[in-house]
Chain A
């Protein structure tokens, strides 16, 4: 599943992506506001925000497609455009349809490869990796959304880049394709590459990313790890309804297990999984009426965070810029 020899991934000294005060205004509309963050190599970093939060604009600014109104971004040790072989530094999937529909997949990739002297064999290789080899001589016009996404990813991998920037890569992919993307991103990160992926779905990022950068209305809301976010959000808890709540609480007691009760006979268990709770209960003959992992609350926590940011932004227009409580909670000093 690896994409290349990966030799170049270890080459340069300063690596990853840095954004310094990135700001983008269109007229009096501020799309991205003073964004500062770092994306480190070797992990998958999720870039989360509701639609219209400024994720795509930020990514375009990193790639030099949009000029920042203020601030700057670097990839590795310099701005993207300053690299002698940019495709070897960064592979990017922006909007899926950044492709001339009249050209075949093969010729599209070949046109990009020729600018850098990337060999034909590499074009064939990325077509294989993305599962497009059989349709590579077909014009892109007839491609499904998922095939278009795969071609965009093939283009991103073309230069064997140290850094991969993907804007909503799972859009339009079938479940098999989604799984493929998850594994691809993880394997790229495992090879030491910097992987920066945007999404508006918290649940998807929780499965793929280790680090999260969350924005809302162009502002940084959280720069944290997935684990910290999950812990803070209450996701990962298991809801248990049992007539023997007291006994089960005692049986589950362990240093990293936290059991709370919001109503009589109802437990919220954190730090262990439903399987362990179920087995423990069964071993002691405790009846369970309900045993529910609280997965949805992760998405809920993300929505709360971003919704709050919108209200926060609306109400602080006239007041000082005191960080909201949730920002302190999620902001990690790493």
Chain B
């Protein structure tokens, strides 16, 4: 037992272990995948060329389930941090790793990697499946078409970053219901309300808000009134990093 020591990779493995040894992880990830696939197929099956959705981007149309996935991934991120505070597990975690910050970074890395991988796999299942129903319509496309693969990957990256942001919110707010409220209200809904205000400045800014950026990333062909995919990815990364940095700062200072 002489080589016992905390190392970053060991903390990472611990957080990986923690994530997969609670049921909520399996349930949320399965639910997110099932909803994305189910909604994608339902939309594809009922699609009619030239209908109201004709001007919707092909990838966005197929991945409309991400409205729910956003909430589910947010909840998963919140459970990873605020869940530990509400159960008291945080005291065990912070006693094991009293420098604290490695725990937060590891949680974010594990959650980000897992959600990215699961959403990516789901997207690459959903799109071809939905396309079998969309062949012959004006939304017919294949994975090799310009922008399609990029948007499928971009959507997965965007949702993973949104999850990390929710995880950081959970670490800041420490209450599961409070964090979910803040995430849905502040991150998902508030920008919609803001963009309804008649100010161009706000409309421009909202493009770079998390949901606006995710929206942009999910387009194979980015409309002109949205942030470019690169800018959107950068914006979402900064949102996630900023929230995580604030969480880290407070985690060092506050009592647990």
Contact = CB atoms under 8 A, between A and B. Distances in A.
B87 A97 contact: yes
Nearest to A8: B1
A99 B99 CA distance: 19
A99 B4 contact: no
A61 to B, nearest CB: 9
A103 B21 contact: yes
Contact of A97 (B5, B6, B88, B99): B88
A100 B14 contact: no
Contacts of B3: 117
A6 B7 CA distance: 24
Contacts of B11: 115
A88 B255 CA distance: 23
Given A67-B253, A114-B17, A85 B92 contact: no
A84 to B, nearest CB: 5
Question: What's the interface size class on A, roughly?
Answer: 35 or more
A94 B22 CA distance: 22
Contacts of A108: 92
A103 B89 CA distance: 10
B6 A85 contact: yes
Interface centre among A97, A99, A108, A116 (most CB of B within 10 A): A116
Contacts of B142: none
Given A84-B6, A117-B3, A98 B21 contact: no
B26 to A, nearest CB: 11
Given A100-B83, A117-B7, A118-B4, A86 B21 contact: no
B114 to A, nearest CB: 16
Nearest to A91: B95
Interface string B60-73: 00000000000000
Interface string B4-22: 1111001101100110011
Interface string B64-108: 000000000000000000011001111110111111000000000
B201 interface: no
A159 interface: yes
Contacts of B87: 97, 99-101
B91 A115 contact: no
Contacts, number: 105
A94 B91 CA distance: 8
Contacts of A118: 1, 4
Nearest to A4: B1
B21 A116 contact: no
Contacts of A97: 87-88
B9 to A, nearest CB: 9
A67 B255 contact: yes
A64 interface: yes
Given A97-B87, A111-B17, A116-B10, A85 B5 contact: yes
B96 A107 contact: no
Question: What's the interface size class on B, roughly?
Answer: 20 to 34
B88 A115 contact: no
A267 interface: no
A31 B162 CA distance: 40
A66 B100 CA distance: 12
A86 B84 CA distance: 20
Contacts of A53: none
B107 to A, nearest CB: 12
Interface in A84-129: 84-88, 92, 94-95, 97-104, 107-108, 110-112, 114-118, 122
B167 to A, nearest CB: 16
A80 interface: yes
A65 B91 contact: yes
B193 interface: no
A99 B94 CA distance: 12
Contacts of B196: none
Interface centre among A65, A88, A98, A108 (most CB of B within 10 A): A98
A96 B6 CA distance: 24
A213 interface: no
B197 interface: no
B21 A115 contact: no
A271 B1 CA distance: 47
Contacts of B17: 107, 110-111, 114
Interface of A: 5, 7-8, 60, 63-67, 80-81, 84-88, 92, 94-95, 97-104, 107-108, 110-112, 114-118, 122, 155, 159-160
18 contacts: A65-B256, A67-B253, A67-B255, A81-B98, A87-B4, A92-B95, A100-B18, A103-B22, A104-B21, A108-B92, A111-B21, A112-B14, A112-B96, A114-B14, A116-B96, A117-B7, A118-B4, A122-B1
Given A63-B98, A67-B255, 16 more contacts: A5-B1, A66-B255, A67-B253, A84-B5, A87-B95, A88-B4, A95-B91, A100-B87, A104-B21, A111-B18, A115-B6, A116-B4, A116-B6, A117-B4, A117-B7, A117-B10
Sort A-B residue pairs by CB-CB distance and give the 10 closest, nearest first.
Answer: A81-B98, A114-B14, A107-B21, A98-B91, A85-B4, A66-B255, A100-B89, A98-B88, A115-B14, A102-B22
Interface of B: 1-7, 10-11, 13-14, 17-18, 21-24, 83-84, 87-92, 94-99, 253, 255-256
